Amino acid sequence: MNIESIKINSYGKLKDKNFNLKKINIIFGKNESGKSTLLNFVINLFYNISKNKNGKNISDYDKYFPWDENEFSGKIIYKLDNKNKFEVYRNFNKKNPEIFDENGMDISNNFNIDKKIGNLFFSDQIKIDRDTLMSTVVTSQNETKIDESRQNLLIQKVANLAESGDEDTSYKKAINKLDKMLLTEVGTNKSQDRPINAARENIIKYENEIADIKNIENRKFEIENRNKEIKKEIEEEEFNKKIYNEINNVLNNNNIEEEKINIKKKILNENNTKIEKYKEEELNNKKNQKSLPFYISMALLILINILNFTFIKNKLVNVLLLSLIPICLLLYLIRNKKYNSKNIKIQIETIQNNNSELEKEIEELENNLNRKNEEEKIKLIKIYGKEIEELFNYKLIEELINENKNDLENLKLELHKLELDMESIEPKMDRLAELEEKLYIEKENLKDLEEKTEIFNMTKELIENSYQEMKNNVTPKFNNNLSKNIEKISNGKYKNIILNNGISVELENGRYIPADRLSTGTIEQIYLALRLSIIDEISPEKLPILLDETFAYYDDERLEATLKFLCNIDNQIVLFTCTNREKQILDKLQINYNLIEL
């Protein structure tokens, strides 16, 4: 794999930067010029930037987010060993990048997606994750020396090697660890108070409790079935209630209209009575129109007034007696007017006219009532069926409504009693449901634990098989590659390195000593050789080697040997440095390189 070009729109302190890379590249710049930022950009573009601190004081996202809020993005063009070319653009504010092939086709959906990390295109292509990449092809000052735990991880990635030094000891530790994990996480038939023992005991306990409660379950089914029947009956009665009420409303409306008609008929009868009375009065008036008693009374009243003026001569009495004459006359005239024959005829005629109007109104109301009654009846029959026609009877519908009311009350009362019975059963049934759920969970738990036991046993068997295969094939090959690399890097000074509970180096006298007893420069060379040996085994790609200020502890002789070795391997080399030493040595060796100054 080769990186062909890098374009940075804005990332940390780097803005509007374009870099074209070749086989050998020197990225030169003073401290704080942005070399590590460029390296970090490359790694985060391939694997996505993290917003978590991951043990740092600040996350990469916060550290490299542009201060002036320019576009936080960039692009890389690279080619795999099979000559397939890819262009990747990433906006670091988004989880997933945009990936294009050499024909410009968007192939972003062709790769696996992780919900947390995002698109895993680079891991899919080179077959290693970010941590492995950072432990092998990417190095910075004081990072070429890897600790034993990381060394173990990387070696395990080579043909599933599961040991960290001495083969027998590593194998025993792995087996012992699995046995301990099996005992702690699962347990055995001989153990006590372990997960599998607790699961078996709980299953027996729950099954016994369930058996005790099962007896009341039949009663619950009876209540539930009767509950459904009553609810269905209530539903039917509610339906009947609706029909009865609608019919009753129609009949009640008829009563209202009939009452209006009766009122008008009553008025009509009253008017006829008035007409008869007026006719009778008219007849009496004719008989009494010439009234002799009135004239006699008037004559006596006049005589009394004459006698009073003549003999009594009391002014007050005279005035009172005199005033009676016009009053009597006026009353007589009023009475005659009231019983005037012409006036009575007018009254009779008026009432007769009103009666004619009333008779028309009564006839119209009766017709409307009959028509409306028939329409409502037809409407309800159309909805509920012809069988309800017989219900249009005041007495019958009233009886049905009362019967329906009683039936509903009785059904609801029975339903309430059943609900009370169910409330007394529910706690026990809830306990049954709880127990059945616990029993199911415990059985599933036991099943998982038994599967886990099987997995542990299969894992032990696989480790044993892998161990034998590794012992015969992998370890010798890995040691051989590591020894060849260190021989070239050290100019033949160290020719043999073996893995034996760490890294041991053979001296010229044939003695093996731990690598950490050598000089810092030699240790750096050995661990660089270890990384390069691992690279050839863990990925199908010849990955670019990115070295950031890696050679601080190298003297010129070691640096020259190391650069000569790096330039002769197939991997692309990118050196980040703040000194001219790498440039001067490559010039001395007449090796072509690409110089990029920040």
Residue 8 CA to residue 34 CA, distance in Å, equals 12
Asked if residue 319 has pLDDT above 90, the reply is: no
The pLDDT value given to residue 161: 35
Shortest CA distance to 299 belongs to which of 335, 261, 273, 325? 325
Place of tokens 């607790």: 198
- Render pLDDT for 403-413 as a digit per residue (tens, 0 to 9): 888 988 998 89
Asked if residue 150 has pLDDT above 50, the reply is: no
Average pLDDT over every residue of 497-507: 71
The pLDDT value given to residue 21: 97
| CATH superfamily entry for domain 2-157+490-597 | P-loop containing nucleotide triphosphate hydrolases (3.40.50.300)
- Render pLDDT for 31-64 as a digit per residue (tens, 0 to 9): 889 999 999 999 999 999 998 887 788 999 999 9
Cα–Cα distances in angstroms (integers) from residue 416 to residues 38, 108, 232, 420, in the given order: 77, 63, 15, 6
Pick the more confident residue, 489 or 318.
489
- Render pLDDT for 94-117 as a digit per residue (tens, 0 to 9): 999 999 999 999 999 999 999 888
Place of tokens 């004559």: 299
Lowest mean pLDDT among 329-333, 509-513, 538-542: 329-333
Average pLDDT over every residue of 570-592: 94
- Render pLDDT for 330-341 as a digit per residue (tens, 0 to 9): 665 555 554 455
The pLDDT value given to residue 474: 58
The vertex-493 CA angle with 492 and 495, nearest 5°, equals 65
* pLDDT band at residue 484 under the 50/70/90 scheme: confident
The pLDDT value given to residue 351: 80
Shortest CA distance to 365 belongs to which of 257, 265, 249, 250? 257
The pLDDT value given to residue 593: 96
Provide CB contacts within 8 A for 494, sequence distance 6+.
Answer: 486, 487, 505, 506, 507, 522, 526
Provide CB contacts within 8 A for 546, sequence distance 6+.
Answer: 39, 42, 137, 138, 139, 574, 576
Average pLDDT over every residue of 342-348: 74
Q: What is the mean pLDDT of the chain?
A: 80
User: What does the domain layout of the chain look like in residue ranges?
Assistant: 2-157+490-597, 167-282+391-474
Asked if residue 125 has pLDDT above 70, the reply is: yes
Asked if residue 241 has pLDDT above 90, the reply is: no
* pLDDT band at residue 164 under the 50/70/90 scheme: very low
